[in-house]
Amino acid sequence: MQFCWIIIEKPMTTITSQAIARYRDQLAHCPEAMQALDTIEDCEGNLEDAALTLGIQVGQQPDRNDWLEGLAKRCRVAICEGGFPAALKDNNISTVVNHLSERKVCHPLLAPLVVAYVLEQGIDDFCAPIHFKLNYDGENN
């Protein structure tokens, strides 16, 4: 009997040139964000490819295609706290990018990619594990 491995890859997360233009409007004050957006454009909107490129530039060692997903998960608490989910729902991108950078949760070159990734995944879905844990912990205390 032979076994066949089926590897299911997640589709790459991409954003449109219109989305990049919206980000540029909000992040024009931040040179690192503009550099990140240039890289996203160079990668034809592919956030994972841009994250790998920028990750190497900032001294990280991205070694997996889902490196951006892991980075976003490490930023989840900072993104899902307080009024930041509401800010993202209102497309107030700069507030969250600045928050991640100022708190040093995420390198300023990578923060726009993390925020774009979260928006593409859906803020409610992205924050659901945090809300579940908070609700679960509250019920067991």
Q: How far is the C-alpha of 39 from the C-alpha of 43, rounded, in Å?
A: 6
pLDDT value at position 63?
83
Would you place residue 27 in the very low, low, confident or very high pLDDT band (cuts 50, 70, 90)?
Answer: very high
What's the pTM value of the predicted model, to 2 decimals?
Answer: 0.85
CB-based burial, 85-114: b 16+ in 10 Å, e otherwise: bebbeeeebbbbbbbbbeeebbbbbbbbbb
pLDDT value at position 10?
61
pLDDT at 68 over 90: yes
pLDDT value at position 64?
83
pLDDT value at position 6?
42
pLDDT tens column, 93-106: 999 999 999 999 99
Q: Which residue spans within 1-141 are E strands per DSSP?
A: none
Would you place residue 108 in the very low, low, confident or very high pLDDT band (cuts 50, 70, 90)?
Answer: very high
> Considering the chain, what percentage of its residues have pLDDT values greater than 70?
84
- Averaged over 104-117, what is the pLDDT? 97
Domain residue extents for the chain: 17-139
User: Under a CB-based contact definition with an 8 Å cutoff, are residues 58 and 110 in contact?
Assistant: yes
Would you place residue 2 in the very low, low, confident or very high pLDDT band (cuts 50, 70, 90)?
Answer: very low
